[in-house]
Amino acid sequence: MKKMGKLKKATIIKSFLLLLLAAILFASSIALTAPAFASVQEETEIENSDPDTDTGQDTEQDTSTNPTDTDDPASSQFDSIAKAAILMEASTGKVLYEKNADEALPPASITKIMTLLLGFEALERGDASWDDMVTISERAWKEEGSIMFLEVDTQVRLEDIMTGISVVSANDGCIALAEHLNGSVEAFVREMNKRAQELGLSNTQYQNPNGLPAQGHYMSARDIATLARELIISHPKILEIESITEFTFNEIKQLNRNPLLGIYPGADGLKTGWTEEAGYCLVGTAKQNGMRLISVVLKTNDEDERLAASRELLDYGYQNFELSEVVKAGDDMGQGEVKNGKELTVPLKADETIKIVIQRDRKEEIKVNLSMDEEMIQAPVESDKKVGKADFLLDGELLASTPISTAQDVEKAGFFEIIWRAIITFFRSLFQVSTGE
């Protein structure tokens, strides 16, 4: 009987060991085909910005807001007294206000923004220098309207020509610059139209470099703002020149024609315009609290109305919007799940600094959606590996995006560690089934 009892006990132990071995083999097969268990942080706060962040793949957080909690500037937008107008934030190109922004209208001397852009680009390429001596032709000398009083057959430094165009809106200077850079006004105008196409200015066509009345010479407010932004961002030196309050040439002193200078806080450009057909026009720009705005007003009735329309646009922008840094390059963006790693998760970081133009006091409402390239990151993981992107949204509208990458290395776990995790996962799932969870 004792012998039978021992055999029975041995059989039970043997059966248990076989069952355990089978479980281990079954679990190991799971480990090779299924992802390792990882606990993933579902909501992460971005340092210094506090937006809600969901690290699930392609999962967007609730972007609903209570309209009664936020004053919407759009609901109180004004009707500009200008025939056409637009307000743009310079660093992002975001349009904050527009009225008839795509209507093609005579731009008058605002044309000279393109003339100046081509001048700066020639300087940047090395095709011209500030010390170039520009020979003044009879055609330049005869040009009418606002002039810097160039004299025929004289030579003038290119720097003086560019300054005269910028500060006193010199029509004669535009002709002299065009002939110096391209040999003729006609060739220069072809370059103006070519550059307009490259910049996507779909409602723009030039007939001359200074904006004097000509059939088929037009621009839209949106095109003007886009052009002004290109000039300001690519060649910020223009603002140093445009903010000069007076210019003396040939012993003749003239004042800068921009009415915003010295009147509007932070104003340092950009270009006025007037002809009978164009009316009074102005491209203004100012910088306050780190945000630069570009305003365009076309076809106002007089100088006072032009100034009032420009100030109204800029005031609207600065009173209702702010340029907010919502994430900085290197900031924590939560955790990503790692498959078969020594660590089950890896910290993620933003690759770029993101600044967004938003309505004031709405920064906390910005939502962040993390989209991972793969559901789990396969170990081994190297630091700085791009693994997805972060989208920043407000009221469901995509405001900006940045790539996200891993912030540290993660080594691959050993074979037995992977099996052990699989066993734990297996028995945990059995326990959950048995308890009805």
Residue from 333, 298, 329 nearest 100 by CA: 298
Residue 341 is given by DSSP the state: B
Cα angle 406, 411, 412; round to 5: 115
How far is it, in rounded angstroms, from Cα 238 to Cα 23? 75
Residue 124, SS3 per DSSP? helix
Output the six-digit token pair for 32: 């090779």
Would you state the structure tokens that stand for residue 114, as one six-digit string?
Answer: 């393109």
Please tell me whether residue 126 adopts helix, strand or coil conformation. Answer: coil
- 28, 49, 80, 109: which one is catalytic? 109
Contact 206, 193 (CB under 8 A): yes
Q: What is the CA radius of gyration of the chain?
A: 33
Q: Does the active-site annotation cover 169?
A: yes
- Separation of alpha carbons 232 and 342, rounded Å: 51
- Which residue of the set 83, 99, 112, 339 is catalytic? 112
Residue 115: closest CA among 202, 207, 200:
207
To 10 degrees, what angle do helices 415-434 and 2-33 make?
Answer: 110
Annotated catalytic residue, options 169, 295, 310, 324: 169
The three-class DSSP label of residue 114 is helix
Check: CB of residue 322 under 8 Å from CB of residue 92.
no
Q: Respond yes or no: is residue 99 known to be catalytic.
A: no
- The secondary structure element, H or E, covering residue 141 is helix 138-142
Q: Are 295 and 283 in contact (CB under 8 A)?
A: yes
User: What are phi and psi for residue 405, nearest 5 degrees?
Assistant: -140, 170
- Strand ranges inside 19-158, DSSP E: 53-54, 84-89, 95-99, 133-135, 155-157
Q: Is 109 a catalytic residue?
A: yes
Which sequence positions are flagged as catalytic? 109, 112, 169
